[in-house]
Amino acid sequence: MLPVNKIAHRLCFMMSRTLYITCCCGCCSALRPRYKRLVDNIFPALPQDGLVKSNMEKLTFYSLSSPEKLDRIGDYLFQKASRDIYRRRHGFVIIAMEAMDQLLLACHSQTLNLFVESFLKMVQKLLESTDPQLQILATQSFVRFANIEEDTPSYHRRYDFFVSKFSAMCHSNHTDKPTRDSIRLAGIRGLQGVIRKTVSDDLVENIWEAQHMDKIVPSLLYNMQGAEKYETVSCLESETDTREGIEEPPKLAEACLRELVGRASYGHIRSVLRPVLTHFDRHELWLPCDFAVHIFKIIMFSIQAQYSYSVVEALMQHLDASGGGSGTRVRAARATVLSNIVAIAAGDSVGPSVLEIINNLLTNLRASVARDSEKESDERLYQEALINALGEFADHLPDFQKIDIMMFIVSKIPSGRGKPTKADCMLQSILLKSLLKVGTTYKTTELSKAFPAAFLEALLRVSSTSEARTRALLQRILHTLLDRRANAPLLLVPTVQYEKLGLTVEKCSRPDLIFISKHGHAIFSSLYEGLQLESNTAENISAIYTTLSLLAIELASEETVCDMLQLILAIQQSAISNPVLSTAQQCQLHAITVALAALVPHVLALPPLGDYIKQIIEARREEAEHMLPPLSDDYDVSPNKLPNKLPYLMIDQMALGECLKACGIEPSRLQTASPYSGGTAVGLAHRHSWVEAGATQGRDSLADISAGPVTELDSANSSPGVQRQTQYDALDEEYRMFIEKYNYNHRPSMPHFGTYRTDNEFWHWGHEDAHAASVHDARTSLVFVSVSISFDHVFLDDFSTFSSHFSHPTQSENVSLEALRRAASGPSEAERRDAERRKVSLNNTFRTAPFDHLLHITQPKYEIQDKLEEIFNSISEEPLLPIGAGSPAGKTQNQPYTKYLTELFLY
């Protein structure tokens, strides 16, 4: 054992050492810098007690008084927090972070940048820890820092770590769902803070670079795709503070994406869209397309309006770039997304951007047609999606741009001439579907605006294509553009019972009458020729019926009724005389003819005409129901019930004229020659020429020129402006029998069929006064022929035969003194006025009619050389008329050399 004195000495030494150390520490503490003492004093003895507020106020006051100490205060707090993190004393770490937040919010001096560096290092230190609580705490501090507007920019601050760390937190896979959601929410809020801090300051790091967007955008999309359902609104319904108020990762991610897109300028839009498209491709999120539609709608609603076109352009470029590399269903889904967002951009797209979008869509359609698809149904889905996109885009454009788009689409349709390939037919059909989609969005006010001349010409050109389905599709386009009163659905099926349909009919406007006067011939001729095709189905004929019905309703006027009835008669005649039509097609044409004829008095309130058509309908219902609607694809008709065997059930031209006259409408234009080509129209001649007026096919002699049933043997026939009044007596019947006997020009006789007419295509052009073509009294012809010197001897000789025939004793009693007096007195004042009116009409025709029409009606049916050879070959043959009674062969040999000039030289 140690002696007592030694023990006492050692105790004294220990006490003195302890006292020395305590005194030294106290002295050293007093010598430490004041900022460190103030920082130390904010920490309590126990972390549960929290921050010492009184001491924190002293530290804050000191920081405001000595801002140059801020950087040292921040660095010292960072050192203390780092030691506490290492020792896992998280309570003191939270106190240090809280102290830094308060200093950051309280101080706004120019030296704050140095303190911020320490603050960001401390936030980074907390984010690097594995404790979710510290990560969330650091994120909250960073968000508060991001909301502070700094007076001076920082040139050296970087946020690479924060973008990467917050993006990683957005993809947290923590096993505990509440903790996982908390970490993801913290990560999204952190990204939102980075965006707010960097996007408004051009001097800091460029957040729009690909290295940052490739992390931020996919992180937001990853959280959004986990939503149970997608509800897209055009804008946030309230000004909710998204920093703290939203507790669901999908909704907060959506709010962050909206903010990101909304802050993007024109040059930065592609930086956001590129990672969006890449994310959808990599993770195969296009199918189903609900999520893709939701995301792109959010982008369209959030982006600045003037930049919305860029989104559509980027998506279409992505569609082009993928081409056939992606699956057809994926491409169809992309096109569906495009169709859902393109309407949003349409309102702000003007000028070239509109046609550029349309051109891109049409280019993709053509590529789809040319592409060999493994599954046609999938390729069809892709095409339908593109067509829907086209229609949605056009729906939000003004009407004048819709017309431009339709004209642009029509210009891309392959020509229907020749034998089209399968690809051309498919492209025609698809482009017409696109045109129909755009047409359904257009509201027609005036026909002249809906059908510009170039557009109408292109449509009529397509109507001659060989594909029956394509022609039916074109008729649907016409229905859409013509129907202004929702009558088209009621007229899809031919009928004669219009009283039950409830059609809406209004008086035709003057601009529409002007339009039809200019383009009516082209429209009616195209529809007429469309009915003459051998490939027509019941659908085609029914579609043309609907078009004609809409024209009759939209152009209901006394000025157009004759044109419509003339077309109806031409269709009826073609159903009898066109050899390429089958029996079913003939029956179908007769059915729509009577249906259209029944519609005319219904829309114009013409009771006499309506009664006449009802009589025909009743007669057909008793004897030939196959000549009435509805249409059928197959008809079982006996030979004796064929339409050409039932002439008494046809619509009669003279009867129509009498009905119109009873209604107070001048029927003269109805009695003119039909302007419709094809050799099956009512009219006989194709052009106005007195040389050909009497010529018919199959003649072998110049005697044929004067032998036609429509020729008047007087000098007036050489002058188009001269008109003769119709007079009927027994001589007319003798003249008809004479013509049939010697020229074999048999015409079907019906009750009240009508007299022979002078073919003349000029008098019905436009809506000028038409002349009533008829055969003049034979006695008047006798007087005028005796004084005429303009006709050839052939005509005179033939007429001498005709007159000698009429001088037979059995017929002499039919010639009265009054008839001879009328014949000798010459034309009456009314005849001269009518002749002058015809002359004015002829001159006006050459001034106003299109050149193509003039060329068509003045074009000869044969070459002069061919006709001369035909005449030379027939010289040795026996003439049609006897030598003694007709024109001698010797006299006819010199006449063919006369060169006749067309009436075109009149103008």
Q: How does pLDDT run across 818-874, given as a tens digit for each residue?
A: 667 666 777 777 778 788 878 877 877 777 777 777 777 776 655 666 777 777 776
Q: Determine the pLDDT at residue 821.
A: 67
More confident residue, 221 or 353: 221
User: For the chain, what's the residue count?
Assistant: 907
Mean pLDDT is lowest, of 185-189, 640-644, 685-689, for 685-689
Mean pLDDT of all residues in the chain? 75
Residue 315 predicted with pLDDT over 70: yes
Burial class (CB in 10 A: 0-12, 13-18, 19+), 769: middle
| Spatial distance between the Cα atoms of 64 and 103, rounded to a whole number of angstroms | 9
- Percent pLDDT > 70 in the chain is 69
Is 608 within 8 Å of 561 (Cβ atoms)? no
Calculate mean pLDDT across residues 498-510. Answer: 89
Q: How confident is the model at residue 710 (pLDDT cuts 50, 70, 90)?
A: very low
Q: How does pLDDT run across 60-94, given as a tens digit for each residue?
A: 888 888 878 888 888 888 888 888 888 888 888 88
Q: How confident is the model at residue 235 (pLDDT cuts 50, 70, 90)?
A: low
Residue 462 predicted with pLDDT over 80: yes
Q: Determine the pLDDT at residue 220.
A: 94
The whole-model pTM stands at 0.62
Query: Distance between terminal CA atoms of the chain?
Result: 155
Residue in the block written with tokens 């030694």: 6
Q: Pull the structure tokens for residue 321.
A: 């770039």
| Spatial distance between the Cα atoms of 310 and 804, rounded to a whole number of angstroms | 90
Calculate mean pLDDT across residues 96-112. Answer: 78
More confident residue, 354 or 286: 286
Three-state SS across 163-210? HHHHHHHHCCCCCCHHHHHHHHHHHHHHHHHHHHHHHCCCCCCCCCCH
Residue 907 predicted with pLDDT over 50: no
Q: Determine the pLDDT at residue 164.
A: 93
Q: How confident is the model at residue 109 (pLDDT cuts 50, 70, 90)?
A: low
Residues 326, 331, 337, 338, CA torsion sign: positive
Is 511 within 8 Å of 448 (Cβ atoms)? yes
Is 79 within 8 Å of 122 (Cβ atoms)? no
Q: How confident is the model at residue 477 (pLDDT cuts 50, 70, 90)?
A: very high
DSSP per position, 507-540: PPPHHHHHHHHHHHHHHHHHHHHHTT-TT--HHH
More confident residue, 133 or 32: 133
Is 426 within 8 Å of 369 (Cβ atoms)? yes
The amino acid occupying position 624 is A
Mean pLDDT is lowest, of 83-87, 360-364, 748-752, for 748-752
Residues 588, 590, 593, 599, CA torsion sign: negative
Calculate mean pLDDT across residues 392-416. Answer: 84
Residue 148 predicted with pLDDT over 60: yes
Cα angle 315, 320, 326; round to 5: 95
Q: Determine the pLDDT at residue 900.
A: 43
For 820, the 3-state DSSP assignment is helix
| Spatial distance between the Cα atoms of 308 and 315, rounded to a whole number of angstroms | 11
Residue in the block written with tokens 């593109």: 386
Burial class (CB in 10 A: 0-12, 13-18, 19+), 48: exposed
Calculate mean pLDDT across residues 800-825. Answer: 52
Cis bond leading into 630, ω under 30°?
A: yes
Residue 549 predicted with pLDDT over 90: yes
| Spatial distance between the Cα atoms of 34 and 41, rounded to a whole number of angstroms | 11
Q: Pull the structure tokens for residue 747.
A: 């015409």
Give the best-scoring range by mean pLDDT among 153-162, 187-196, 856-865: 187-196
Q: How confident is the model at residue 707 (pLDDT cuts 50, 70, 90)?
A: very low
What lies within 8 Å, CB to CB, of 311 at 6+ separation is 269, 273, 296, 299, 300, 303, 341, 345
Calculate mean pLDDT across residues 306-332. Answer: 80
Residue 2 predicted with pLDDT over 50: no
Q: Determine the pLDDT at residue 815.
A: 54
Find, among 128, 257, 239, the residue nearest to 188 by Cα. 257
Q: Determine the pLDDT at residue 163.
A: 92
Q: For the CA atoms of the chain, what is the radius of gyration?
A: 47
Cα angle 612, 613, 617; round to 5: 120
Calculate mean pLDDT across residues 700-725. Answer: 38
Q: Determine the pLDDT at residue 316.
A: 86
Calculate mean pLDDT across residues 265-292. Answer: 90
Residue 766 predicted with pLDDT over 50: no
Calculate mean pLDDT across residues 619-625. Answer: 90
For 755, the 3-state DSSP assignment is coil
Cα angle 720, 725, 730; round to 5: 125
How many separate helices (H) and strands (E) can be counted in the chain? 36, 0
| Spatial distance between the Cα atoms of 902 and 690, rounded to a whole number of angstroms | 9
Is 409 within 8 Å of 448 (Cβ atoms)? no
| Spatial distance between the Cα atoms of 18 and 164, rounded to a whole number of angstroms | 52
Q: Determine the pLDDT at residue 704.
A: 38
What lies within 8 Å, CB to CB, of 708 at 6+ separation is 684, 693, 694, 695, 696, 743, 745
Find, among 759, 766, 760, 758, the residue nearest to 845 by Cα. 766
Calculate mean pLDDT across residues 399-424. Answer: 80
**Residue 827 Cα to chain centre, angstroms:** 58
Residue 676 predicted with pLDDT over 60: yes
Is 589 within 8 Å of 635 (Cβ atoms)? no
Q: Determine the pLDDT at residue 720.
A: 39
